[in-house]
Amino acid sequence: MALMELLAEKSGCLSKYLASHYGENESRSLRMGSTDRPTLTLHRKRCEALLSRRVRAPAHEDGYLVSISLLDNRPQPTGGARLTETQTHAGDLLSIRDLSERYETRLDGPFDFLFFHVPRSVLDAIAEENGARKVESLSCRSGVQDPVAAGLGRALLPALREPTGTSSLFIEHVALALGTHLAQTYGGLKAPSIARFGGLSHFHERRAKEFLTRGAGEDVSIAAAAAECGLSRSYFIRAFSKTTGKTPHKWLLDCRVARAKQLLAAREMPIAEIAMECGFADQSHLTRVFASLVGVPPGAWRRENAR
């Protein structure tokens, strides 16, 4: 899937740096957007062993590496150009490393970190979409806990484990929400108030819905749906949600489940074929989504409702 491109851990300078200092475990990363526009990349690094080592990295690009600790009361690396002592903090701790500066710190284990690579181009795109001034830099004080960023990061863990079972609409939506949160909270971005956003026109609503449901087996992106309406991603998500009461991802899931119900009730098509017909990755993907929204698996629903 174009929007959920799993990257080999050994490719790229940043991936090699993470692998060399945090280990080869969790050796995949997730590109959180289309290949034709700047986006975040997610890495996960964890270790259950007791260890203590130095982490060093030279300055190498104009961007940021945001780390979030998923463990409670575990050591979290902190530091900058000069070596500092590692401190123990609660979970959801967030730190920001400026990749244009030399970095050195001490890492103790066990640990479990999510790393988000935030290129400068991502921040520039978010500012442009919001009609705001560019973010000069990202920075935060030591020991800051950020449950919002941590929650968004945890929402992406299933995509790392099973990328084919996660919607690109969902991943791109989370990436945009996280990037905007970081830019506002740690970069001073002044985004417009939600109250300033109106809903979609009837024409744009119809066009967006037709685009989202066009080709059930195809993965669609927020960027492409927004472009279909001539809107920015941020405006499209807010306007669509205001008009329909649902995010684009939730609206599309509900449509696919409704179509699956129709096919299940007819009893003519195997559930595996229904899954593909309705745009799910496979039967297990349909089962997970169907059960979470309807309350029972598709097979059980068919037995109770088939004509």
Residue 197 near residue 242, CB atoms below 8 Å: yes
Whether 39 and 153 map to the same domain: the answer is yes
- The answer to whether residue 25 scores a pLDDT higher than 70 is no
Whether 27 and 93 map to the same domain: the answer is yes
- Measured N-to-C along each axis, helices 298-305 and 283-294 cross at an angle, to the nearest 10 degrees, of 70
Average pLDDT, integer, range 102-128: 88
Cα distances from 248 to residues 234, 261, 263, in angstroms, run 12, 20, 23
Sorting pLDDT into bands at 50, 70 and 90, what band is 134? very high
- Between 166 and 291, residue with greater pLDDT: 291
Minimum mean pLDDT range among 8-22, 45-59, 169-183: 8-22
Sorting pLDDT into bands at 50, 70 and 90, what band is 272? very high
Rounded CA separation 227/299 (Å): 38
Would you state the pLDDT for residue 268?
82
Rounded CA separation 123/127 (Å): 6
Rounded CA separation 7/3 (Å): 12
pLDDT tens string 192-217:
665 566 789 999 999 999 999 886 66
Q: Write phi, then psi, for 72 (nearest 5 degrees).
A: -85, 135
For the chain, how big is the Rg over CA atoms in Å? Answer: 21
Round the average pLDDT of the chain to a whole number and report it.
82
Whether 12 and 137 map to the same domain: the answer is yes
Of 148, 158, 157, 154, which is closest to residue 179 (Cα–Cα)?
148
Minimum mean pLDDT range among 6-10, 124-128, 171-175, 256-260: 6-10
Whether 165 and 289 map to the same domain: the answer is no
Rounded CA separation 53/56 (Å): 10
Would you state the pLDDT for residue 75?
47
CATH number of residue 256's parent domain: 1.10.10.60
Sorting pLDDT into bands at 50, 70 and 90, what band is 104? confident
Of 20, 103, 19, which is closest to residue 60 (Cα–Cα)?
103
- Between 151 and 16, residue with greater pLDDT: 151
C-alpha 96, offset from chain centre: 18
- The answer to whether residue 51 scores a pLDDT higher than 80 is no
Would you state the pLDDT for residue 187?
94
Whether 113 and 235 map to the same domain: the answer is no
pLDDT tens string 154-175:
999 888 887 767 788 888 899 9
Whether 74 and 213 map to the same domain: the answer is no
Whether 85 and 161 map to the same domain: the answer is yes
Residue 272 token pair: 């595996």
Would you state the pLDDT for residue 73?
56
Rounded CA separation 170/110 (Å): 31
**Final residue in a domain of this structure, among 148, 171, 187:** 187
What is the share, in percent, of the chain residues with pLDDT greater than 70? 81
Of 114, 144, 136, which is closest to residue 32 (Cα–Cα)?
114
- The answer to whether residue 179 scores a pLDDT higher than 90 is yes
Q: How many domains does the chain have?
A: 3
DSSP, residue by residue, 185-217: HHH---PPPGGG-----HHHHHHHHHHHHSSTT
Rounded CA separation 296/3 (Å): 30
Residue 89 within a domain? yes
Residue 52 within a domain? yes
Rounded CA separation 223/125 (Å): 12
Whether 20 and 115 map to the same domain: the answer is yes
Average pLDDT, integer, range 92-108: 88
**Final residue in a domain of this structure, among 148, 166, 187:** 187
Residue 113 near residue 79, CB atoms below 8 Å: no
DSSP, residue by residue, 158-181: HHHH-GGGS-HHHHHHHHHHHHHH
Host domain of residue 198: 194-241
Any alpha helices (H) in 50-167, and if so which ranges?
120-129, 147-155, 157-161
Average pLDDT, integer, range 114-122: 92
Average pLDDT, integer, range 126-142: 90
Residue 1 within a domain? no
Would you state the pLDDT for residue 61?
82
- The answer to whether residue 66 scores a pLDDT higher than 90 is yes
Whether 73 and 131 map to the same domain: the answer is yes
Would you state the pLDDT for residue 45?
86
Whether 61 and 94 map to the same domain: the answer is yes
Number of neighbours of residue 162 by Cβ within 10 angstroms: 13
Rounded CA separation 96/177 (Å): 17
